[in-house]
Structure 1
Amino acid sequence: MTAPTPHRPRVAVVFGGRSSEHGVSCVTAGSVLAAIDPEKYDVVPVGIATDGRWVLESGDTQRLAISGRELPHVDGERAAVALLRDQGATDLVVADPGSVPEVIGAVDVVFPLLHGPWGEDGTLQGMLEMAGVRYVGAGVLASAVGMDKAYLKVVLRDAGLPVLPGVVVTAREWERDPAGCRDRVAALGYPVFAKPARGGSSFGISKVHDASELDAAIALAQEHDPKVLLEAAAPIGSREVECGVLEAFDGGCDTSVPAEITVTGDHEFYDFEAKYLPEEATRLDIPADVPEATAVRLRELSARAFEAVSCEGLARVDFFVLPDGELVINELNTMPGFTPLSMYPQMWAATGLDYPALVDRLVQLALRRTTGLR
Structure 2
Amino acid sequence: MTETPRPRVAVVFGGRSGEHAISCVTAGSVLAAIDPERYDVVPIGIARDGRWVLESADPERLRITGPDALPSVDDGGVPVALARVEAGTDLVVSDPSRPPETLGEVDVVFPLLHGPWGEDGTIQGMLEMAGVRYVGAGVLASAVSMDKAYMKVVLAAAGLPVLPSIVVTTRSWAADPEAARRQADELGYPLFVKPARGGSSLGISKVRDAAELAAGLAHAFEHDPKVLVEVAAPAGSREVECGVLQALDGTTETSVPAEIRITGEHEFYDFEAKYLPEEATELDVPALVPDAVAVELRALSARAFEAVGGEGLARVDFFLAPDGSLVCNEINTMPGFTPLSMYPRMWAATGVDYPALVDRLLRLALARDTGLR
The TM-score normalised by the length of structure 1 is: 0.98
Call closer, same or farther: CA 1:28–1:325 in 2, change over 3 Å.
Answer: same
Deviation at 1:143?
0.2
Q: State the match for 2:13 in structure 1.
A: 15
Partners of 1:95 and 1:85 in 2: CA distance: 14
Q: Could you say what secondary structure the match of 2:327 adopts?
A: strand
Q: State the match for 1:173 in structure 2.
A: 172
Deviation at 1:279?
4.6
RMSD in angstroms over aligned alpha carbons? 1.1
Q: State the match for 1:213 in structure 2.
A: 212
Q: State the match for 1:59 in structure 2.
A: 57
Deviation at 1:203?
0.2
Question: Is 2:334 the counterpart of 1:335?
Answer: yes
Partners of 1:284 and 1:49 in 2: CA distance: 33
Partners of 2:361 and 2:250 in 1: CA distance: 13
Q: State the match for 1:3 in structure 2.
A: none
Contact 2:80–2:95 (8 Å) recurs in 1: no
Partners of 2:194 and 2:54 in 1: CA distance: 34
Deviation at 1:372?
1.1
Matches within 5 A, 1:222-371: 222-371=221-370
Partners of 1:158 and 1:58 in 2: CA distance: 44
* One-letter amino acid matched to 1:48: I
Deviation at 1:278?
2.0
Contact 2:165–2:229 (8 Å) recurs in 1: yes
Q: State the match for 1:146 in structure 2.
A: 145
Deviation at 1:88?
4.0
Q: Which moved further from structure 2: 278-287 or 146-155?
A: 278-287
Deviation at 1:238?
0.4
The TM-score normalised by the length of structure 2 is: 0.98
Deviation at 1:96?
5.0
Deviation at 1:95?
4.8
Q: State the match for 2:35 in structure 1.
A: 37
* One-letter amino acid matched to 1:145: V
> How many residues matched?
370
Partners of 1:280 and 1:100 in 2: CA distance: 51
Identity of aligned residues (%): 75
Deviation at 1:102?
1.7
Deviation at 1:67?
1.2
Segments of 5+ residues of structure 1 without an aligned counterpart are 1-5
Q: What are the Cα deviations for residues 191-224 of structure 1, in whole angstroms up to 9, with x where unaligned? A: 0000000000000000001011100000000000
Partners of 1:224 and 1:357 in 2: CA distance: 35
Contact 1:29–1:64 (8 Å) recurs in 2: yes
Contact 1:194–1:205 (8 Å) recurs in 2: yes
Contact 2:23–2:113 (8 Å) recurs in 1: yes
Deviation at 1:98?
1.6
Choose the corresponding residue for 1:26, options 24, 27, 34: 24
**Structure 1 stretches of at least 4 aligned residues deviating more than 6 Å after TM superposition:** none
